[in-house]
């Protein structure tokens, strides 16, 4: 039985583009279908590295819920990276393509997908990893 829908990605996974993002985003539609809780960790401008970090953190803190959780992972643009701002002591996103080359960006995205896939398989999780912006 699925009790939790945990989703993560960029603004598209958070519901941007929906006329009522809180009730019509993909994660909410899944949650409604399964009569489950919608746990949406997505953030506008979020990177694949952020998604990887947020999902790994959620799994570590909620191992007792994994058998009743379905994960929705939206892969976003390659050139987004999460950076640490030591002055503000917080993470932020930088979407500058000038900082990283294309090959490096693709390799980082593939590493994130492989890490999440391996983790989901290890814990026998139900999941869907998809292209959330439809141009990757």
- Residue 6: which residues within 8 A CB-CB, separation 6 or more? 39, 41, 55, 58, 69, 70, 71, 72
Structure-token pair, residue 1: 């039985």
User: CB count, 10 Å around CB of 51?
Assistant: 29
Please, are residues 6 and 72 in contact by the beta-carbon 8 Å criterion? yes
Q: What element of type H or E holds 84?
A: strand 81-85
pLDDT at 79: 72
- Tens digit of each residue's pLDDT (9 = 90 or more) over 123-132: 999 999 999 8
- Tens digit of each residue's pLDDT (9 = 90 or more) over 21-68: 889 999 999 999 999 999 999 998 888 999 999 999 999 999 999 999
Q: What pTM did the predictor assign?
A: 0.86
Lowest mean pLDDT among 48-52, 75-79, 100-104, 108-112: 100-104
Structure-token pair, residue 114: 């492989």
């Amino acid at each position: 039985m699925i009790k939790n829908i945990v989703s993560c990605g960029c603004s598209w996974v958070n519901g941007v583009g929906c006329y009522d993002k809180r009730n019509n985003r993909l994660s909410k539609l899944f949650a409604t279908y399964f009569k489950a809780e919608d746990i949406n960790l997505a953030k506008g401008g979020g990177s694949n590295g952020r998604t990887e970090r947020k999902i790994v953190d959620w799994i570590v803190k909620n191992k007792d819920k994994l058998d009743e959780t379905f994960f929705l992972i939206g892969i976003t643009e390659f050139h987004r990276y999460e950076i640490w701002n030591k002055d503000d002591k917080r993470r932020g996103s930088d979407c500058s393509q000038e900082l990283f080359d294309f090959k490096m960006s693709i390799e980082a995205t593939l590493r994130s997908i492989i890490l999440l896939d391996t983790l989901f398989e290890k814990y026998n999780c139900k999941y869907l990893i998809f292209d959330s912006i439809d141009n990757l």
